[in-house]
Amino acid sequence: MKRYFMLLLALTLVMVLLAFAVKWFHMPFFEPLPVALLPLAVLYFAAVDGAQYWLTIRNVDKHPKAFVQSFLALSVGVLFLHLVVLVGGMLLHPASGKRFAVGFLILYVVYTVFIMGAFVRFMRRAGNGDRS
């Protein structure tokens, strides 16, 4: 689990730097967005994905056969949370709502691919008997 959180921290640092680079280099598509909105979205995704991974792995350690149920339940909950945050961000700044949605979607795809890869690696290790 320690390896996952180190990789999550590295990904988050890269994404925060990219989010600030979007603002520093004045990319016209993202120009009307408030300066801190995309970096805050990056931190939000890191916190939610870290919590989702930790809760799923903790549940699997307690009940090994419950991976699918805990994974699906947490995934649905996280998806609805993302939807609420997306709509909230769009309502907070209506003038740049579409731009925020595009940035949010990009972050969603990046972090979803990352956490799915982590779960696949975990399941392979768990299948081999290595849970570290």
Is residue 65 in a domain?
yes
Is residue 22 in a domain?
yes
CA distance 105 to 107: 5
Is residue 132 in a domain?
no
Number of domains forming the structure of the chain: 1
* Residue 74 in tokens: 């947490």
What confidence score (pLDDT) does residue 35 get? 57
CA distance 85 to 79: 10
Is residue 48 in a domain?
yes
* Residue 33 in tokens: 């967005």
Percent of the chain with pLDDT over 70: 85
Is residue 14 in a domain?
yes
Residue 117 has pLDDT above 90, yes or no: yes
More confident residue, 67 or 81: 81
Domain that holds residue 85: 2-127
Least trusted range by pLDDT, from 18-22, 52-56, 89-93: 18-22
How sure is the predictor about 129, in pLDDT bands with cuts at 50, 70 and 90? low
What confidence score (pLDDT) does residue 69 get? 86
CB 87 within 8 A of CB 97: no
At residue 122's C-alpha, the angle toward residues 40 and 17, to 5°, is 25
Is residue 98 in a domain?
yes
At residue 73's C-alpha, the angle toward residues 69 and 77, to 5°, is 170
What confidence score (pLDDT) does residue 37 get? 73
Percent of the chain with pLDDT over 90: 39
Q: Any long-range contacts for 24-29 (C-beta under 8 Å, 24+ apart)?
A: 29/99, 29/102
